[in-house]
Each structure stands twice: as structure tokens, then as C-alpha cells.
A and B are shown apart, each in its own frame.
Chain A
Amino acid sequence: MATTVHEPPRIDEQRNRTPPVTGSGNGGGHALPPLSGELRRVKDSAPPPSSTGIWVVLASITMTFAAFTSALIVRQGDGKDWHHLTLPGILYLNTVVLLASSVALEVARRKVDAFMRGPRNGAAPALWLNITLGFGLLFVVGQYVAWVQLRAQGLFLATNPNSSFFYVLTAIHALHVSGGLGGLVRVIYKLRNATLRKSTLVATSRYWHFMDALWIYLLVLLWMKL
């Protein structure tokens, strides 16, 4: 058998022809931001990648915390050194704050929606987004206060496995919340510059609500005695 590398036929004629529109691909190209800063032109005709992307992100975060959970369950069942700690009371307050932030974000979404659809007079409705941001910051500060309280009780990262898991899980959750705060800042910035896509807002809010659900899950996990 011999090598047969022929001179390829040119395909230029094909390229210049305009073919009939058929097929079932999604069309590509729709991930592009708008040409101008015109807010009302920012409509999504097809599901944009950020909509798929956010589920991909949430799936990987879920797997990460599933791994931590299985580690916690194994460790709790394995060692005789597990001392169940009483959760600091401020955590429950933090939970309320985080839930409130989600409510604020939903209000913000409706305001932005109305703003995108309706006549654009006045400033963009960033107020409720700022409130969300404020609650989010308050939550992170509240988590820090909880760590300070535990430290005052002499419970450090390495004190016992329960405190280890408490610090690790809350810290990594707080890191993810901080990432969400970054996302919110970006949304507010884009709203100001009239380059916000609805899909960006939707993706950010999905992420934010997921942080709520994740936090409640972690709270129950840390509270429960398995």
C-alpha cells in the first residue's frame, strides 16, 4: 500500500455559493455581546452559552461538596475523636440574611426586566442589586463573626475533626459566595454601561440562589449528628 496524498480539489466555488437554510444546529455566534451599548437590543433569541454554562458550574460545585460530604460522613463514622460542636447562633441570622439577599435579587430581576422592556427613562434599577450585594457582604462578615466566636471558645481548625470540617466547609462556601459577589458587581457595572445581557443576570441569579440552597444544606449537615 502506498501513500496517496493527492492535490486536493479546490472548494472555493462551494464557499461562495449561498446554500439553502436547513439543518438543526443551534446557529452559533449568538454568544456575542451587543454591537452598541443599546440595552433594549440585548435580547436572547437562542439559549446562550451562559445559560448552559451556569449549570455546568453548579454541577461541578455540587460534585465538590458531595466529595466533602462523603469525607465528613466517613470521618464521623470512623474516628472516636469526633466532638459534635454547637453551632454559633449567628449562623441562623446569617441564613436569614442570605435568604433576604435572594429575595432582593428576585426583586432586582423584575425591575431590570421591566426596565429592559419598557421605556427607558431615569437611571437603571441598580438599587435592588446593590441591596443584594449588601446582604451578601453582610453574610460573609457574619460568617467571619461565627469563626471569631468559635475561636473564642478554643475551637480551632485542628482542634477536632468536627471543627476541621466546620471551618473547611464554611470557608469554601464563603469563597464561593465571594465569587457570587464578584458576579453581582459585574452585573451592576454592566447595567450602568448598558451592556448587560439578560442571560448574564439570569446566570448570576441562578448561582446566587444555589449558594442559598448550598448553605442551608451545609448548615443541616453540620448540625446533624449522623
Chain B
Amino acid sequence: MHDMSGHAAVHHGEPTSFIHKHVFSLDHKVIGKQYYGLALVAVLIGMVLSWLMRIHLGWTNYAIPGLHLLSANGAPGNVMTPEYYLQLMTMHATIMVFFVLTTAPFAAFGNYFLPIQAGAEDMPFPHFNMMSFWVTFTGFLVLVASFFVSDGPTLGGWTQYAPLSALGPVGGPGEGWGVVLWATSIAIFCVGQLLGSLNFITTTLDMRCKGMSLWRLPLSAWGWFITSCMGLTAFAVLMPGCILLILDHVAGTSFFVPSNLVLNDQLQPHSGGSTLLWQHLFWFFGHPEVYIAIVPGMGIVSHVLITNLRRPMLSHRVLVYSMGALGVLSYMVYGHHMFVSGMNPVSSLAFSFPTLVITIPSTIVVLIWLGSLYGAKIRINAASLFALGFISMFISGGVSGFFLAQPSTDIMLHATYFVVGHFHLVMGVAAMFGIFAGTYFWFPKMYGRMMNETLGKIHFWCTFVGAYAIFMPFHYLGLAGNVRRYQAFVADYMQPLIPLHQFITVAALFTGAVQVIFLYNLIHSRFAGQQATDNPWQATSLEWSTPTTPPPHNNFGDTLPEVFHDPYQYGVQGSAGDYVMQTSPEQVNSPHDEA
């Protein structure tokens, strides 16, 4: 074993002051929890915004009590203006995509568990890691600050298409300071995630303990590693885009605004920029981003499922290769977001083809899950239910992707609720289910206490049914031609769809409200939950071999662990039961040992 007593104290000693322990901490575990807390605050804000929008969509002239407090101009008499609807929509999407779906499954759980699963005492660059969180947090504050500038946050949508986003106040409420704050926030966020990716990649490649070959890493660690490789390239491209967008606003440059553009009867003082340029820069990031949101979930869910199936996946390696293929292909498909933006048919074909190809690794992943589930005696608990829910959502949302991948059908479905239903299920709800699965699974390790299983199961069933009740009808709405981003449905053909919108609103209010069960469970279990043992799920990977629960400051005490097996030795005859832990030196004759 590696004797590292003494070293640990030099690396970074256990902090004693409150500030260094809980605020500016170098400990990856604290940073992971900070990211989780940030995501929790962000998801609550994002969810309330979606409620406000849904109420407006169901009952357009309904006065929401107190809404004028959020914005006197945006909601005079508590009734949302059309512009304010778009502003809330933009903020909902930005907060959810960046500060929830990227931070929680990737930055929060990845920070906490990647070093432990790899058998390291910390990430190699703890100061960068600390910066990563605080930079991200600053980005969040900058974004939220846009609620409080004179005309509120930007209304351009989370994609911020130029030229609207680059014109300044003439573009409408929030298009001045709102966009500048938005772009600044996202540029800051990019810096934070680049610093995080740097740590994730080096941890995976260089900090593994003795015996931990790459193939012996659990699937969750693979998910985070592949995601960090994607993040490294994606965020490095979005950042320049944001810088150029900010300059178009504050310095009068013309990167994205074409010449002779007349808006609101005013000739815009720009000399000939490219509107499509923004879309290219954005979607080169934007498509990998949806995989950045979902691949960690795939890893977490696989990890949780295997533990509860008590047997490994059909193929560990094929699953890893498929996740890697998703990462690589995600860069080659981004043009499919621009089929109707003005793209020559050859380019459409060039982007359509890999878009159809990328369904292959996704399908392989799903088939491996289903094949592994087939005939298994799965342990049903809140974590495994959410893992199963993830698969269900991923399939339901993924199937509609086949229709959208083809330009011929996409031209009809683009900009309708069909797309909204597709991405909410496949990356929004699915990723959220991944977060929930991870929370129920790892909470005992993170806080040393068990979560309440009964409440967890109630939470699952309410959320599962609720999420389908919200997002399934979206597909029907889209096929019926219901355009997205409209704040009211006044056209004759959309009038009959309004009752369905009202049903969706009720479902959204219900599904949001049942999250109180989760919050209660989280907070109550944190302080009064049943005491957790070191390995409550009888799992094999390294996070369950820590000397204490929660793990000590340097994760493994005075000696780093040594690993003898691949991560999922289940269904074998071990001294501890039907599993053998990675750190256990006992011999296993297992057909599964691929590593």
C-alpha cells in the first residue's frame, strides 16, 4: 500500500476555520456539496419560473398574486406581458441547462465521487477546483442580477440568436443590459467548467490508486470523464462567442449584426456582420451540451442499476465505448439545429447523417440496460426506481429524436411543442431522474444518514406520472401545429388546444409541488435520518470502502486503497456475500471480470 502519512498534511491539511472548511474549501467533497446546493437553489428558481409560464399559458389573463413584485413593468396588475413571458422563458432555460443540468450530475456528484471512485485523496489542482465553484457561483449571481436591472432579463431564448441578441435595447425589454449580463454570466460559467474539466481529466488519468486501471473505473466515473472531455472543447468555443456578443453590445462592433438592418423603424448602425456565425458558435457548444447534461446521468444510472441488479451490465466495455461515441459524435451533429436557419441541402445531409448515426450508440446503451434488466431480480428502492425512470424517460424522449433528425420532417416539427416535449424528456427530466437516483444512492455516503425510502418511493411515483402528464401531451400539441415560444394561443386552430394546455399546467403545478416531499426528505434525513453504515447497498466500488462515513478529509485515511477487481463483482461467492469489493484481495473466478 502507498504510505502517504505526512504527505496528506502537506498536500492540503484539514482546515480548522469555518471559512476554509465550508466556504472556500479545497476539499473536493465540500466543493461537490456546494455545487449540489447551487443546483438545488437554481432548480427551485427555474421551477417557479416554469410554473409562472405554465399558468400564463393555461389562463392568459390570470393575475398571479404578487407577480408585480418581481417586475412592475413585466407584470402590471400582476398579469404577465408577452415580453415578460419570453424573459421568464429565457431565464428558465438558461438556469436549468447551465446551473442545474450541468452542475448537479456532472460538477456536484463528479466532484464528490470521481476522486473517491478513482482512489485518490483529492483532485490534483484543488485551488482550481475551488475557483471552479466560486466562478460558477459568480456566474449564477450575474445571471440572477438581470432580474433586477431596469427592464429585466433578456427575452432572446437560451440560444440568444443574433441579430436580436446583439442589437441592444432597441430589440425589446432585456435586450440591453439583460443580454450583456446573460453573456457575461455564461462566459464566466464557461471558465468555471473549464477549470472543473481540467481537474476531472487529470484526476481520471493521473490520480488513480494502485491497481485501478481505466477499465476498473466504475461507469459513473467514465460518465464524468467523458463529459469533462466534452466540456473542455464545448465551453472553450462558447466563451469566444459570448465575448464577441458582449463586444457587439458594449463596443459597437459588428460581428453578428448584418448591415442595413431596420428594426422598429430605426436603421441599425452596424456594418455587415453574420447572423449565422452566432448559431454556428452556439450550436457547436449547444449540442455537446445536451450530452454534457445526459452522459453523467447515464453513468450514474448504470452504476446505481448494477448495484441493485446484483450483476454487471451485459458489457461494461461496450457501454463505455458507446458513451465515448456519443461524446465524439455530439460535435458532428450540431448543424441539425440549423436545418431551417438557411443551410444548403448538402450541409443538411452532412449533419442529418451523423444525427441518425448518433442514435446507434444511444440505442446500444439502452439495449444494454434493457438486456441487463431482463430476468434480473432487481432490488426496488428509491434510487433504483429513479434509475429505471431515467431509462423510461430517455427512451420516450429519444424516440421522438428519430423524427427530428430528418430535415424533411424537422421542417414541419421545428419550432413546435414537439421539440419542446422531445428535449424536456430526453435531457431535462431524464437528467433530473439521474440526479435523483444519484441523490438517493449516495446520500448515505455524503451525510452518513439514510434517506426515507417510503417518501422516496412516493416522490418517484408522483414525479414519474407527473412528468409524463406534462411532457407527453407536448408531442400531440406539436403535431397539431402548436408553435412554441408563443405566450398566448389566439389563432383559430390553436383555440381547441387550450384545454390541453390547462391540463399540462395543472400537471406541472402538481409535479412541482410534490418536490416538497424530496426537499423534506433531504433536509430531514440530513439531520434526523437513520444512521448509515459504511456500505448500506452492499456495493463494490471504492466510495464504499472509505474508513468512515462520510469519508475523512483525505478520503482513505493514511493509506490509499489498492484495487484488485473490476468495479462490478456481483453475483459471485465472496466472503462478504454475493459481491466482492474492489479493495478485497480475495480471488474471484468470475466470468464478468473484463478488466
Contact = CB atoms under 8 A, between A and B. Distances in A.
Interface of A: 1-9, 11, 14-15, 17-35, 46-53, 56-57, 59-61, 63-64, 66-68, 70-71, 74-75, 78-81, 157-158, 160-161, 164, 168, 172
A67 B282 CA distance: 10
B584 A71 contact: no
B590 interface: no
Contacts of B212: 23, 25, 28
Contacts of A161: 253-255, 271-273
B67 interface: no
A79 B453 CA distance: 62
Interface stretch (B92-100, B130-138, B203-211, B411-419): B203-211
8 nearest A-B pairs in the assembled complex, by CB-CB distance: A23-B211, A79-B272, A49-B124, A25-B212, A19-B585, A63-B236, A158-B252, A9-B576
27 contacts: A1-B378, A1-B380, A3-B381, A7-B533, A8-B576, A14-B585, A18-B1, A19-B1, A21-B210, A24-B213, A25-B209, A26-B207, A28-B120, A28-B212, A31-B124, A35-B6, A35-B7, A47-B206, A49-B202, A52-B201, A56-B232, A60-B233, A64-B236, A74-B277, A78-B273, A79-B271, A81-B272
A32 B577 CA distance: 37
A28 B114 CA distance: 13
Nearest to B6: A35
Given A5-B537, A60-B232, A71-B281, A48 B240 contact: no
Nearest to B115: A28
A5 B381 contact: yes
Interface string B1-33: 110101110110000000000000000000000
Interface string B552-576: 0000000010111000000000011
A51, A56, A68, A172: most-surrounded residue (chain B CB, <10 A) = A56
Contacts of B241: 67, 71
Interface in B357-373: none
B77 interface: no
A28 B210 contact: yes
A164 B240 contact: no
Nearest to B456: A3
B534 A11 contact: yes
B535 interface: yes
Nearest to B281: A67
Contacts of A30: 206
A21 B1 CA distance: 7
B535 A8 contact: yes
Interface residues of B, number: 81
Q: Provide the main secondary structure of the chain B interface.
A: loop
Contacts of B232: 56, 59-60, 63
Contact of A164 (B121, B201, B247, B379): B247
B409 interface: no
Given A1-B377, A1-B378, A26-B206, A8 B125 contact: no
Nearest to B565: A23
A160 B125 CA distance: 42
Contact of B254 (A32, A56, A81): A81
A19 B534 CA distance: 21
Contacts of B205: 26, 49, 52
A67 B241 CA distance: 8
Nearest to B237: A67
B209 to A, nearest CB: 5
Given A8-B537, A23-B563, A67-B281, 20 more contacts: A1-B379, A5-B537, A11-B545, A14-B583, A14-B585, A24-B213, A28-B118, A32-B4, A35-B6, A53-B198, A59-B232, A74-B274, A78-B274, A79-B271, A79-B274, A81-B254, A81-B272, A160-B271, A161-B271, A164-B255
Given A19-B564, A59-B233, A31 B206 contact: yes
Contacts of A80: 259, 272
A158 B251 contact: yes
Interface in B116-145: 118-121, 124-125
A2 B454 CA distance: 12
B379 to A, nearest CB: 5
Given A29-B121, A53-B124, A168 B244 contact: yes
Contact of B273 (A5, A24, A79): A79
A66 B240 CA distance: 10
Contacts of B197: 56, 60
Contacts of B254: 79, 81, 158, 161, 164
Interface string B228-272: 000011011101110110010001111100010000000000011
Contacts of A47: 206
B206 A56 contact: no
Interface string B177-221: 000000000000000001001100111011111111100100000
B547 interface: yes
Interface string B527-548: 0000001111110000001010
B280 interface: yes
Contacts of B216: 25
Contacts of B584: 11, 14
B581 interface: yes
Given A1-B378, A23-B563, A25-B563, A32 B207 contact: no
